[in-house]
Chains A and B, each alone.
Chain A
Amino acid sequence: DQQVKQNSPSLSVQEGRISILNCDYTNSMFDYFLWYKKYPAEGPTFLISISSIKDKNEDGRFTVFLNKSAKHLSLHIVPSQPGDSAVYFCAASPVNTNAGKSTFGDGTTLTVKP
């Protein structure tokens, strides 16, 4: 049973528009959530995180929203840029557990067209 699901394997948007990447989880013990970005032939890089005590966290063009009752989080990128084209992974970790032991989703490949 996959505990973290990214149901859209791919997403294509036009430059300047909003990109919305979604992630669902099933484990109610998860309380810390992270998004990573990965370019081909490179390791993932941390993008943004959110704790369950919040429902929104913003960092520049990137905003993560958390809906605990729906066990759903989303990453909004506004405006999208061609350099944002990458694979985005959602990850979740339980209460007081090292974030390195997070459970990862399968990723969504974002393509931003010029």
Chain B
Amino acid sequence: NAGVTQTPKFQVLKTGQSMTLQCAQDMNHNSMYWYRQDPGMGLRLIYYSASEGTTDKGEVPNGYNVSRLNKREFSLRLESAAPSQTSVYFCASSAPDWQETQYFGPGTRLLVL
């Protein structure tokens, strides 16, 4: 039982390049989320997926797209990376009940030059 896994752990991109951050969970959770954390700040929700086949915007969705490939996997895509997207990205999952605990992955550290 690995919980929530994220790949890659670290990535360097040049401005304008694209990439996809991968996330998978093995806890049979319906809901999945993508956050970013900038230095000295809390987590901000980028996108979430309440269930397979649905996705919704969070607080900071601009510049990102997501795909809920199946119940296990939720990917985050940067089509044209910008230096402002330099951050640490966390994926999380939870059961559908609104007070259910979230489980976070270890994060992907992204540097955009």
Instruction: Decide whether A and B are members of one complex.
Output: yes
Chain A residues proximal to chain B, CB less than 8 Å: 4, 9, 32, 41-46, 49, 51, 89, 91, 93, 96-101, 103-107
Q: Which residues of A contact B92 (CB under 8 A)?
A: 43, 100
Other-chain residue from A9, A42, A91 in contact with B106 (beta carbon distance below 8 A): A42
B12 contacts the other chain (CB 8 A): no
Q: B residues within 8 A CB of A99?
A: 94, 98-102
CB distance from A33 to the nearest CB of B (A): 11
Distance in angstroms from B28 CB to nearest chain A CB is 16
> A107 and B42: CB pair below 8 A?
yes
B58 touches A101 (CB 8 A): yes
A4–B43 CA distance with the chains assembled, in angstroms? 11
Contact B40–A106 (Cβ < 8 Å): yes
Contacts A96-B98, A100-B102 supplied; 6 other A-B pairs, CB < 8 Å: A4-B42, A43-B4, A43-B92, A43-B104, A46-B103, A91-B43
Some 5 contacts from A to B, beta carbons below 8 A apart, are A43-B90, A43-B105, A46-B103, A93-B98, A104-B43
Q: Which 8 pairs across A and B sit closest by C-beta, in order of nearness?
A: A43-B104, A104-B42, A46-B101, A104-B43, A100-B33, A106-B42, A44-B104, A98-B98
A107 to B41, CA, bound (A): 7
B-side contacts of A100, CB under 8 Å: 31, 33, 45, 48, 92, 94, 102
Return chain A residues, CB-CB under 8 Å to B4.
Answer: 43
Smallest Cβ distance from A109 to chain B, in angstroms?
10
B31 to chain A, nearest CB (A): 6
Within B32-58, the residues touching A (CB, 8 Å) are: 33, 40-45, 48, 50, 58
